[in-house]
Chains A and B, each alone.
Chain A
């Protein structure tokens, strides 16, 4: 009963204070908490001797549980006033008993309990408030101190950075007055801090400063730009000067107005010196100290970058004659000494318009900028040659050197850098091939033919692939009836830029370059294909085809195999193929060509000696060769052209024909143009002939027409 009363009291109390303060208790915990306090309250009310500390403790306990809202106290006191008396009467006590809850003693006791509880609450709340205030102030101070420490640390770090930085840092106001400078900057410019602070940025001008630097600076202090960078020179306090990489930044205030300036300076003096040295090295020849090829190329690029209308340029390309012999016989040291001596003589010709450079080896060049005319450069070349004519003392001996010079002089606008250098190079080569110790002047015509030869030679392999070549055929006619016996295959080049080219224009080039092997094989294949067509169309009456074989082809190990392959693939009878060789091609130590001819002959292929009579005309030698026919050089026919022929020529031809016949060889005369020639040759016993009298070289279709006509050629059936 008593406990139930107390529990009811506690529940009611808990209900009364719920929401009056923030406590971290759920409702059961709250009732439990209040029940514990209720026990104390009742004990305090019924105790014989009043202990004021108990209600005080209850008040303090409320605060400790965070009943810090004063409504909690108010509600609690109301509970005590209204309900504690009845609960105390109900509980009773052995020593001290009051049956009436309105008993004045009890009323007085409850009033005292309320008072002490309120006092205990107030004390505890005051204590708690003060503690919390102290705690939060301490936290505030601590936080502030930590922030200040962090700021101080940060500032210390920045101060250290400013002081220790290897880069020069200066701070100035907008009028250019120096506010602060770090030790690196003071060391760089050799000032004490006090001296330096007396300076003004505006006094740090250097006469060689680019105008743009000070332009940028004035824009910066006016707030029109936030920073600029420049390479700038500064004078040191001792009058010396340094190159710096300078960065100036504007610092603005909170409102964005310019406030002060910060300059960062890096000493780049050494770097620039090194750069200059490297640049010099890059553009100069270490042996002679003269400018090198790179500088020449640079200088010419500058000239050609903006060619003024009337500007001319001259180039002397010089090469020592026989320098290699000096090197080989006297050693490289002497060779180097000689080059140095030559360079020092040539260096005398350098001037504002003239650059003397060593291109490498024993090649030198003199550039004449804004040359007036060819004569000026020729005069220079003459001066150079005579300057070198004086013997040179090298290593105790006297050497005489000569040089060859190629000269090019022309308007800048009319040429290109590459053309100019190439022309000078070619001209030097002319000077050499013309006999050395001289100059040569560039000659466009001489160059043109050389260039054409070069171009033809270089483009020939591609031209074969592109089918720019074609084959024409010139009939070989039997002299006794004028009928076609065979045809000679003659290659032509339909060149895209030079037009139709005769074999004389390119065969020798092809032999030089080696293209003849490829070209010869191609002609052989075309000719055999065509001969096969005639073989099918005309049977026994079909002509043989005679194809020229160059000496180089004859020396190719694959010739026999090529012929076999072509005959096999075309299906041409070997007897309808004749190979024409020059006598010269057979004159050699090698046995390969002879073996090849023997094999070809053995297959039934005809062999003819072309242009016979122009070489050694070694008839006895012919005896040992597998040859079927001699073709007399056109020069013999020339002697027989007139109505009254040269008797010597006639005798020679007669002898040749007789000898050939004695060796079982047939004879064909080339270059027959007139009926008189034909008649004489026939009279002298010549078997066949070839020439304009009968037919010019022509397309296979035209040969078709002649073959179909089945009529004698040369205007006479005789």
Chain B
């Protein structure tokens, strides 16, 4: 008998979770054997993965600092995953102690962990929701408490949209986000792409088919289309380490990092 629609989902700890695999790539121990097994297989296939993930985190850090520098002090981090070193609220609140951050994730373990980490932080909270369900995210009292929608906000979709298949109509979801963002708001996106390393992308995608969050690699043009209604700020949509780097040192073979990153400003 199939689970009736009224019964809540059970928590599945027997399959790898994207959030915990990601934590392992970053050298964290917030993961289970099943996650590590999958992560090691992925690294075997694609040894650069830990570096790519680090580059992605580097982009996240730089983008958050950029947004705060532009006066954005309320951030919505969609698909935030397992909290780790350099969380959005840490980066943002280091630059501006009043910055408010709402994390959103659907993974119940990631949410439970985040909630434990965030306990005592009045300016950060997490909402468990499907990123596609924009209305229920915004209606959630935890989000409503921290986000003032009459002011510009920053929406972060860092290493997130490649977990949204075409069938879920990501463009439509983004339009919904855009509608609720006031002009002057920012959209931050990093997205896995096969364009840097087409040889690696296929097997990697297959590996992710086993997780509850399969991956959809997209081309630069496809990723750029997600910024419809936004003006890409300099330097546009580029490889992860090329987005406003701290120094020239990180620019070695940027195509190795296969992911694209960009920040758009709501017109």
Chain B CB within 10 A, most for which of A136, A140, A259: A136
Closest residue of chain A to B27 (Cβ to Cβ) is A68
1/0 per residue, CB under 8 A from A, across B55-78: the answer is 001000110000000000000000
Q: Is B53 an interface residue (CB 8 A)?
A: yes
- Minimal beta-carbon separation of B168 from chain A (angstroms): 23
Contact call A27/B109, Cβ cutoff below 8 A? no
Contact call B57/A254, Cβ cutoff below 8 A? no
Contact call A253/B1, Cβ cutoff below 8 A? yes
Contact call A136/B82, Cβ cutoff below 8 A? yes
Q: Is B246 an interface residue (CB 8 A)?
A: yes
Contacts of A37 in B (CB 8 A): none
Q: Is A138 an interface residue (CB 8 A)?
A: yes
Contact call A22/B246, Cβ cutoff below 8 A? no
Complex: how many Å from CA A460 to CA B82? 96
Q: Is B86 an interface residue (CB 8 A)?
A: yes
Q: Is B85 an interface residue (CB 8 A)?
A: yes
CB-contacts of B18-62 with A (<8 A) = 20, 26-32, 50-51, 53-54, 57, 61-62
Q: Is B10 an interface residue (CB 8 A)?
A: yes
Check A132/B29 contact, CB under 8 A, given A24-B57, A24-B86: yes
**Which of the 9-residue segments B111-119, B138-146, B195-203 touches chain A?**
B111-119
1/0 per residue, CB under 8 A from B, across A28-45: the answer is 100000000000000000
Check A146/B112 contact, CB under 8 A, given A22-B26, A158-B6, A254-B2: yes
Contact call B249/A27, Cβ cutoff below 8 A? yes
Contacts of A147 in B (CB 8 A): 8-11, 108
Closest residue of chain B to A26 (Cβ to Cβ) is B246
Contacts of A252 in B (CB 8 A): 1
CB-contacts of A125-167 with B (<8 A) = 128-129, 132-133, 135-136, 138-140, 142-144, 146-148, 150-151, 154-155, 158
Complex: how many Å from CA A252 to CA B20? 36
Contact call A24/B32, Cβ cutoff below 8 A? no
Q: Is B150 an interface residue (CB 8 A)?
A: no
CB-contacts of A220-254 with B (<8 A) = 251-254
Contacts of B2 in A (CB 8 A): 254
- Where chain A touches its partner, the secondary structure class is helix
Q: How many residues of A contact B (CB 8 A)?
A: 39
Chain B CB within 10 A, most for which of A18, A66, A140, A155: A140
Closest residue of chain B to A67 (Cβ to Cβ) is B27
1/0 per residue, CB under 8 A from B, across A561-593: the answer is 000000000000000000000000000000000
1/0 per residue, CB under 8 A from A, across B239-266: the answer is 0000000110110000000000000000
Contacts of A150 in B (CB 8 A): 8
Check A19/B51 contact, CB under 8 A, given A24-B91, A27-B246, A66-B85: yes
Complex: how many Å from CA A27 to CA B247? 7
Contacts of B53 in A (CB 8 A): 22
Complex: how many Å from CA A128 to CA B20? 16
Contacts of A135 in B (CB 8 A): 30, 113, 116
- Minimal beta-carbon separation of B93 from chain A (angstroms): 13
Contact call B11/A144, Cβ cutoff below 8 A? yes
- Among A15, A24, A139, point to the contact of B85 (Cβ < 8 A): A24
Q: Is B90 an interface residue (CB 8 A)?
A: yes
Contact call B90/A24, Cβ cutoff below 8 A? yes
Contact call B50/A22, Cβ cutoff below 8 A? yes
> What's the A-B contact tally at a CB cutoff of 8 Å?
108
Q: Is B221 an interface residue (CB 8 A)?
A: no
Contact call A22/B54, Cβ cutoff below 8 A? yes
Contact call A132/B30, Cβ cutoff below 8 A? yes
Contacts of B32 in A (CB 8 A): 136, 140
Check A24/B61 contact, CB under 8 A, given A136-B82, A144-B11: yes
Check A140/B26 contact, CB under 8 A, given A22-B50, A23-B85: no
- Minimal beta-carbon separation of A4 from chain B (angstroms): 20
- Minimal beta-carbon separation of A646 from chain B (angstroms): 111
Contact call A154/B7, Cβ cutoff below 8 A? yes
Complex: how many Å from CA A23 to CA B85? 7
Closest residue of chain B to A134 (Cβ to Cβ) is B29
- Minimal beta-carbon separation of A667 from chain B (angstroms): 105
CB-contacts of A192-219 with B (<8 A) = none
Contact call B111/A143, Cβ cutoff below 8 A? yes
Closest residue of chain B to A69 (Cβ to Cβ) is B27
Contacts of B29 in A (CB 8 A): 68, 128-129, 132-133, 136
Shortest 6 CB-CB contacts between residues of A and residues of B: A24-B86, A139-B113, A132-B29, A68-B27, A26-B246, A143-B108
A24-B57, A138-B116 known, 18 other contacts, Cβ within 8 Å: A19-B54, A22-B53, A22-B54, A22-B85, A24-B61, A27-B250, A66-B84, A68-B27, A136-B113, A138-B112, A139-B109, A139-B116, A140-B11, A140-B109, A144-B13, A146-B112, A154-B7, A252-B1
Q: Which A residues are closer than 8 A to B by beta carbons?
A: 15, 18-19, 21-24, 26-28, 65-66, 68-69, 128-129, 132-133, 135-136, 138-140, 142-144, 146-148, 150-151, 154-155, 158, 251-254, 259
24 CB < 8 A contacts A-B: A22-B26, A22-B84, A24-B57, A26-B246, A26-B247, A68-B28, A69-B50, A135-B30, A136-B20, A136-B29, A136-B109, A138-B112, A143-B108, A143-B111, A144-B108, A147-B8, A147-B108, A148-B10, A151-B8, A151-B10, A154-B7, A155-B7, A158-B6, A254-B2
